[in-house]
Amino acid sequence: MNKPPMKDRYRELIRVSRQMRKLQVSKQFGAVYGSSASHGNLAIFCPSCPQPGINLPPDWKDLPDWVTRRTITVDGNFHADHIKMRRPDMDVMLTNGQGYMVDAIGYQEYISAAKEPRVVSSNILPCDSIFTYLTNQRSTCRNHRAVNGANTDNRRNLDATGVVACCCARHGCFIPTSVCDMQKGER
C-alpha cells in the first residue's frame, strides 16, 4: 500500500511561529487587547538610565548634570545585506515600528524626501571618509569598505546594505524605534 508523499509545510510552520512570538510579546507588554499601537510600545528603554517620572526624584532638575545625563552610542553592521523580495506583497510586518525597528512606511518617506548633502570645497584630506563619501569619490583609505561600497553598482538587488542602531552607552540596551536599515553604504 503506497502512501501519498507528504506536503512540505515548513513555510507555514515558520509563519505560525512568527505569529506566536508576536502574540507572546504583545501579551507580555499588555498590548494584546489594545487596538491602537504606538511606536516603541513593545520594547523596553534602558531601565537603569535616568528617566523623569520613573527613576528620578521630583526635583531632578536641581541635581548635577552628570547624574541625569544619558549617553547614547550609534553602531552599524555593514554586512547585514537584505536581498529584495520577489513578491514584496507577501511580506507581513507584524510589529511595524512597535519594537526596536523604525516604522517602515515613515522611514521610506523620510529616505525619499531626504537630500544627500554635497561638499562645495574639493580640498579634502586623503583619509577623510565623510567628505569623500559626500563628494561621491572613492576613498583613498585602505579599509573603508562601507564608503567604497556605497558607490558601486553591484547592490541593485539589495533592499538594505546594513543596519544601524542606537543604544545606551553605559548599559548596552537598545533604544526603542532606533534601529533602521542602511540604504546605500553608510547612508
The predicted-structure confidence for 74-104, as pLDDT tens digits, reads as follows 988 877 777 778 887 777 777 788 888 888 8
Q: Do 174 and 103 form a contact (C-beta atoms < 8 A)?
A: no
Q: How does DSSP assign 129-167, residue by residue? A: HHHHHHTT----STT-HHHHHHT-STTTTEEESEEEEEE
Q: Which of 45-54, 79-88, 149-158, 164-173 has the lowest mean pLDDT?
A: 149-158
Q: Is the distance from CB of 104 to CB of 159 less than 8 angstroms?
A: no
Residues 110-133: pLDDT tens digits? 888 877 666 555 555 454 444 444
Mean pLDDT throughout 176-185?
A: 81
Domain residue ranges of the chain, discontinuous segments joined by +: 39-86+96-182
| Range in 4-8, 29-33, 98-102, 178-182 the model is least confident about | 29-33
**CB under 8 Å to 90, separation ≥6 — which residues?**
none
